[in-house]
């Protein structure tokens, strides 16, 4: 029987299969000493394992670097093989969360930068994060020769910087104009990446209004304190009351030789006098560059009777001196050319009309108004450029327009979202790959949601703000585009610079380039078409498909609108050029959908896949979000999605969304909700374990569901129900200690009520079961199984529903095999290639081969591999001989359940697409951003 032979792959024939043997103590002691070091040499993915320790360390958002002493131990070269075949080893310290001592130094370094007052270059640049996807605030880069500042850090900022070769390590300060998921969603990832840079780790100053403290409190649940010590909030009520100064007086934040940056707080007028709601506070940033002193004219000095010498210097430093030959006092103004006033830049974020009331009355801004200059010309403060982050609805109001007039000839840049940017992909590299994949296999890689935007543009722009209104009223007003610059220095180039704005990339041009590069791709695309066509034709008689494995009965007469699995993010640890971090969208079409994990930028990915409005629909119709574990690459996109859903459903009767996750996530969400309401109901993953469901149901219904994955596995019917707590985490087991801690009862009445609600929601979506089970990765790490309800086939026979397993991050483990037994699809992490099993053990991840073995052991029909290390930027290294039921995932890959039979056959064609790139280590691109510490 198939299953038995598969088992042999997993385990040495000498070892009995059941129960899984995790009981040998010896491997653990061995495995804990395998580790990564932080050396930064760049290796090709196929580096033999004995060299793998030289891989560049990644922040991995876990700070899981081992200490040097352990690295040395490992260097003694203990052979992996010794234990690798009999059972899967894992890093116990990491699994138990005891690797805290390996976290970065207490004080992460702030880079000390030498300043250069005679800056030759300075400019502002619009970083168009979210400009195409409309999901997050753009950022603004304020560039100096030796210093970089960034205003706002929405999701995707890191990925943007990688793509556009902006070095995160050079950024000294991040300023937030507001604190919410739109403007600050990228902060957690940014802090974690910086903390993982270089030997010591780095940090950055983060500034924001007092609400920032709420975000910091929330981040404490998964970001070490050391990474946040340079986070400063200002304008808390306490300071406002203590100081005699006005609430709206500028607060000085940075003042050095090259720039002075101060903040003016903006509260909605209705909250005046009261503390105001969290999240209400907005900030206007004032950036002032010093004047450029005029040139000294030696001829004039001579004419005034001065001899060359020290007096020249005194005059240049602003002192008056006595003439050598005449009886006069020479003043600097007599011998110096006129000085050039330093440019002044404002960044204005006025989110609502009631903030505008406040904006209009800010006294401290009056000295910058043009008519003020007339009354007191000696205090010349001409604003050079204003970047508006205010929304179109506010900007287009007459009051705001009048306020803009105060600034005379200042250049206005409208940086808020505009639909006109939608057609130009901000992340070109991944858009290019998406276009290529779409050409080769449109069925698995549908055209991105943006390509059909013509009608969106024509219908939308009229109704919403188009920028035209402003432009017509203000000749000095311009709509921002990605990478638009405004030069401040050298003075001769003062003004807009559009030279960096990327051009529109037509998909047809990408395909032309592809066909030239790989001519055989044309034939390949045809083959793939026929392959999929063939599968559609033989659908009625699926057993004839040239598949060695019987098609499971759950696929009989399956409809295309039954299920689609959309891989939104397929990379591990941090977003990269080609792969975003983890998220899987389970599309149930008219019945809504679920998100499994939700890394940073998940909303952006949804927008890329379904279009701006299509993604809103997806978010509206979410049934629940399930998070596997607390590592940042799996959940930092959560708040943005929940906040958007809250806004979309405003005024519509609805229930809070169920968020199922590890218990540390609750801590984060509870703290975060003090900042902005997320309209959700949290449920601990443990509450959705099989045992918890059974307890809540008070019957054995779930025993049946969990085992009846596929009728091919007759064995299953007689199998005892999976009981998550009976094996790995059983009483007295090695891992029980952190699985079940006292004081955290999960099986209480309140949980039952929530479970009941969840069950109802799931049933409405056609799902019969959602079961979380523990996996081996870090404390409170889970996998999940989803099962569709039974249905009646064309001949009136009851057939089982499909079953999906998702591993989360894990070492191979018996719970996973057991839970996904007979699954139609297993989505399994495969962070490392087979040669890097040592690395996989140390970090509690799986190799490609191990993932496939788990799927084989569980007798699953199809395996989708995902969560690839970012060292495989485009396509991971894998051994094709084992891939007969497996496919590797790419971002945006959308697998319709009806196409599952042919899925593995598409893989060789996908490989062809990357044939020239398999051996190119494009990691250097990432490395430039990540490892450059200078």
Which residues bind to Zn ion, rule: CB under 5 A?
572, 631, 633, 809
Nearest distance from C-beta of residue 636 to Zn ion, angstroms? 11
- Comparing CB distances to Zn ion, the nearer of 684 and 905 is 684
Q: What's the min distance (Å) between Cβ of 429 and Zn ion?
A: 22
- Six-digit token string for 57: 């360390």
What is the nearest approach in angstroms of Zn ion to the Cβ of residue 569?
A: 10
Q: Which is nearer to Zn ion, 61 or 708 (CB)?
A: 61
- Asked whether 546 and 563 are in contact (CB, 8 A), the reply is no
Q: Least distance in Å: CB of 777 to Zn ion?
A: 6
* Residues 552, 728: Cα–Cα separation, whole Å: 30
Please choose, from the candidates 8, 12, 16, 23, the residue with its C-alpha nearest in 3D space to the C-alpha of residue 734.
Answer: 23
- Report, in Å, the least distance between residue 625 CB and Zn ion: 16
Integer Cα distance of 790 and 391 in angstroms: 48
- Provide the b/e sequence for 691-712 (b: ≥16 CB within 10 Å): bbbbbbeeeeebbebbbbbbeb
CB of 571 to Zn ion, least distance (A): 9
Q: How far is CA 300 from CA 294, 303, 305, 326, in A?
A: 13, 5, 9, 13
Shorter beta-carbon distance to Zn ion: residue 631 or 663 = 631
What's the rounded Cα separation, in Å, for the pair 202 and 788? 47
Nearest residue (CB) to Zn ion, 866 versus 931:
866
Min dist CB 867 to Zn ion, Å, is 6
- The distance of closest approach from Cβ of residue 650 to Zn ion in the complex, given in angstroms and rounded to an integer, is 33
CA dihedral 394, 395, 400, 404 (to 10 degrees): 160
CB of 605 to Zn ion, least distance (A): 16
Q: Which is nearer to Zn ion, 64 or 896 (CB)?
A: 64
Which CB atom, from 130 or from 783, has the smaller least distance to Zn ion? 783
Judged by beta carbon, residue 288 or residue 809, the one nearer Zn ion is 809
Q: In whole angstroms, what is the distance from residue 461 CA to residue 464 CA?
A: 5
CB 348, CB 386: distance < 8 Å: yes
What's phi and psi for 779, nearest 5 deg?
Answer: -55, 140
Closest distance to Zn ion from the beta carbon of 470 (Å): 43
| Token pair of 563 as six digits | 């299920």
- The residue among 57 and 572 lying less far from Zn ion, judged by its C-beta, is 572
What does the DSSP assignment read for 88-104? ----HHHHTT-GGGGSP
**Would you state the structure tokens that stand for residue 342, as one six-digit string?**
């330093």
How far is it, in rounded angstroms, from Cα 460 to Cα 442?
28
Whose CA is closest to 78, among 123, 30, 111? 30
Q: Considering the complex, state which of residue 160 and residue 782 has its C-beta at the smaller distance from Zn ion.
A: 782
Output the DSSP codes for 582-611.
PEEEEE-GGG-EEEE---TTHHHHHHHHHH
Looking at the Cβ atoms of 773 and 861, the one nearer to Zn ion is: 773
CA atoms within a 13 Å half-sphere pointing along the CA-CB vector of 761 = 22
The answer to whether the CB of 204 falls within 8 A of the CB of 230 is yes
Supply 279's token pair.
């999240």
Whether residue 762 contacts residue 770, with contact meaning beta carbons closer than 8 Å, is answered with yes
CB of 892 to Zn ion, least distance (A): 19
The stretches of 39-172 forming alpha helices (DSSP H) are 68-75, 81-84, 92-95, 157-163
> How far is the C-alpha of 130 from the C-alpha of 389, rounded, in Å?
13
CA-to-CA distance for 18 and 88, rounded, in angstroms? Answer: 14
Shortest CB 472 distance to Zn ion, Å: 49
Q: Whole-angstrom Cα distance, residue 108 to residue 119?
A: 28
Query: With respect to Zn ion, which residue has the nearer C-beta, 836 or 913?
Result: 836
> Degrees (nearest 5) of the Cα angle 188, 635, 201?
30
Strand ranges (DSSP E) for 675-818?
Answer: 680-684, 767-774, 782-788, 791-792, 798-799, 803-806
Number of helical H runs and strand E runs in the chain: 35, 34
Query: What token pair was written down for 131?
Result: 């400009």
Per the CB < 8 A criterion, the answer to whether 286 and 264 are in contact is yes
Nearer to Zn ion, 148 or 629 (CB): 629
Which residues, in sequence order, are bridge partners of residue 260? 255, 288
Please state, in angstroms and rounded to a whole number, the distance separating the CA atoms of residues 501 and 428: 12
Residue 572 CB, shortest distance to Zn ion, in Å, is 5
Which CB, 70 or 631, lies closer to Zn ion?
A: 631
- 87/574 with CB nearer Zn ion: 574
Q: Which of 195, 166, 58, 203 is nearest to 929 (CA)?
A: 166
CB of 600: closest distance to Zn ion in angstroms?
12
The answer to whether the CB of 433 falls within 8 A of the CB of 910 is no
Distance of CA 178 to the CA centre of its chain: 19
Do residues 679 and 645 make contact, with C-beta atoms less than 8 angstroms apart?
A: yes
Among 777, 728, 812, CA closest to 7: 812
Of the pair 358, 809, the CB lying nearest Zn ion is at 809
Nearer residue to Zn ion within complex by CB, 240 or 567? 567
Q: Given the complex with Zn ion, which of 58 and 267 has the nearer CB atom?
A: 58
Using the minimum distance from each CB to Zn ion, give the nearer residue, 606 or 830: 830
Q: Work out how close the CB of 610 gets to Zn ion at its nearest, in angstroms, rounded to a whole number.
A: 24
């Amino acid at each position: 029987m198939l299953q038995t032979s598969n088992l042999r792959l997993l385990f040495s024939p000498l070892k009995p299969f059941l129960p899984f043997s995790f009981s040998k103590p010896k491997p653990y002691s061995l495995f804990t000493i395998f580790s990564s070091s932080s050396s930064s040499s760049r290796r090709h993915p196929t580096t033999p394992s004995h060299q793998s320790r030289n891989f560049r360390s990644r922040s991995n958002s876990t700070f899981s670097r081992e200490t040097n002493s352990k690295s040395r131990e490992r260097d003694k070269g203990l052979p992996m093989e010794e234990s690798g075949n009999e059972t899967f080893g894992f890093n116990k310290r990491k699994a138990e969360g005891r690797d805290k001592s390996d976290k970065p130094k207490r004080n992460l370094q702030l880079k000390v930068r030498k300043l250069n007052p005679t800056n030759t270059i300075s400019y502002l640049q619009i970083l168009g994060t979210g400009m195409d996807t409309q999901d997050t605030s753009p950022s603004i880069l304020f560039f100096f020769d030796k210093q970089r500042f960034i205003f706002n850090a929405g999701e995707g900022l890191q990925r943007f910087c990688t793509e556009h070769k902006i070095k995160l390590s050079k950024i000294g300060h991040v300023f937030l104009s507001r604190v919410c998921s739109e403007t600050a969603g990228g902060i957690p990832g940014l802090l974690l990446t910086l903390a993982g840079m270089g030997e010591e780790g780095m940090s950055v100053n983060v500034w924001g209004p007092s609400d920032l403290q709420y975000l910091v409190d929330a981040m404490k649940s998964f970001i070490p304190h050391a990474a946040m010590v340079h986070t400063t909030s200002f304008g808390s009520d306490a300071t406002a009351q203590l100081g005699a100064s006005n609430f709206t007086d500028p607060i000085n934040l940075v003042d050095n030789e090259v720039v002075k940056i101060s903040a003016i707080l903006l509260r909605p007028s209705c909250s005046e006098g009261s503390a105001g709601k969290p999240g209400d506070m907005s900030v206007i940033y004032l950036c002032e560059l010093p004047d450029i002193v005029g040139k000294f004219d030696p001829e004039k000095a001579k004419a005034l009777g001065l001899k060359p010498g020290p007096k020249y210097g005194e005059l240049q430093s602003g002192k008056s001196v006595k003439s050598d030959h005449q009886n006069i006092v020479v003043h600097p103004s007599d011998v110096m050319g006129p000085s050039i006033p330093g440019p002044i830049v404002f960044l204005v974020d006025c989110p609502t009309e009631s903030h505008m009331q406040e904006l209009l009355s800010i006294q401290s801004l009056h000295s910058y108004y043009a008519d003020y200059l007339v009354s007191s010309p000696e205090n010349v403060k001409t604003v050079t450029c204003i970047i508006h982050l205010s929304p179109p609805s506010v900007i287009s109001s007459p009051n705001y327009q009048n306020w803009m007039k105060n600034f005379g000839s200042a250049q206005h840049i409208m940086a808020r979202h505009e639909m006109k940017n939608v057609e130009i992909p901000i992340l070109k590299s991944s858009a290019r790959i998406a276009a290529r994949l779409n050409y080769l296999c449109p069925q698995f890689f549908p055209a991105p949601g943006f390509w059909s935007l013509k009608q969106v543009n024509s219908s939308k722009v009229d109704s919403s703000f188009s920028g035209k209104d402003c432009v017509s009223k203000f000749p000095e007003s311009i709509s921002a585009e990605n990478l638009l610059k405004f030069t401040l220095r050298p003075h001769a180039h003062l003004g807009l610079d559009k030279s960096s704005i990327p051009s529109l990339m037509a998909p047809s041009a990408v395909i032309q380039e592809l066909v030239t590069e790989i001519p055989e791709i044309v034939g390949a695309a045809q083959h793939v078409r026929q392959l999929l066509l063939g599968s559609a034709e033989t659908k009625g008689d699926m057993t004839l498909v040239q598949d060695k494995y019987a098609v499971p009965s759950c696929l009989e007469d399956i409809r295309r609108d039954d299920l689609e699995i959309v891989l939104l993010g397929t990379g591990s640890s941090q977003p990269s050029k080609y792969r975003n971090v983890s998220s899987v969208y389970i599309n149930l079409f008219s019945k809504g959908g679920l998100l499994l994990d939700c890394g940073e930028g998940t909303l952006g990915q949804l927008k890329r896949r379904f279009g701006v409005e299509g993604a809103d629909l997806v978010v509206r119709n979410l049934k629940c979000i399930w998070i596997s574990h607390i590592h940042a690459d799996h959940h930092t996109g959560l708040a943005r999605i929940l906040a958007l859903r809250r806004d979309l459903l405003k005024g519509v009767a609805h229930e809070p969304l169920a968020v199922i996750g590890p218990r540390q996530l609750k801590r984060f969400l509870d703290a975060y909700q003090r900042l902005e309401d997320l309209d959700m109901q949290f449920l601990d993953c443990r509450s959705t374990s099989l045992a918890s469901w059974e307890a809540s149901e008070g019957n054995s219904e779930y025993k049946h569901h969990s085992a009846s994955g596929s009728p091919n596995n007759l064995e299953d019917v007689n199998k005892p129900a999976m009981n998550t707590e009976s094996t790995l985490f059983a009483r007295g087991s090695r891992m029980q200690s952190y699985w079940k801690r006292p004081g955290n009862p999960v099986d209480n009445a309140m949980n039952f009520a929530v479970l009941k609600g969840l069950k109802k929601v799931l049933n409405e979506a056609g799902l019969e079961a959602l079961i979380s089970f523990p996996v081996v990765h870090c404390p409170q790490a889970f996998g999940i199984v989803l099962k569709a309800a039974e249905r009646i086939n064309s001949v009136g026979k009851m057939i089982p529903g499909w079953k999906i397993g998702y591993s989360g991050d894990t070492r191979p483990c018996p719970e996973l095999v057991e839970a996904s037994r007979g699954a139609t699809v297993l989505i399994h992490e495969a962070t490392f290639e087979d040669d890097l099993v040592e690395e996989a053990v140390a970090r509690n991840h799986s190799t490609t081969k191990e993932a496939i073995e788990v799927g084989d052991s569980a007798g699953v029909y199809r395996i989708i591999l995902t969560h690839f290390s970012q060292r495989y930027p485009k396509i991971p290294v894998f051994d094709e001989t084992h891939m007969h039921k497996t496919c590797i995932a790419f971002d945006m890959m959308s697998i319709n359940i009806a196409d599952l039979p042919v899925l593995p056959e598409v893989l060789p064609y996908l490989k062809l697409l990357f044939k020239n790139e398999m051996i190119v280590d494009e990691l250097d691109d990432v490395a430039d951003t990540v490892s450059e510490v200078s």
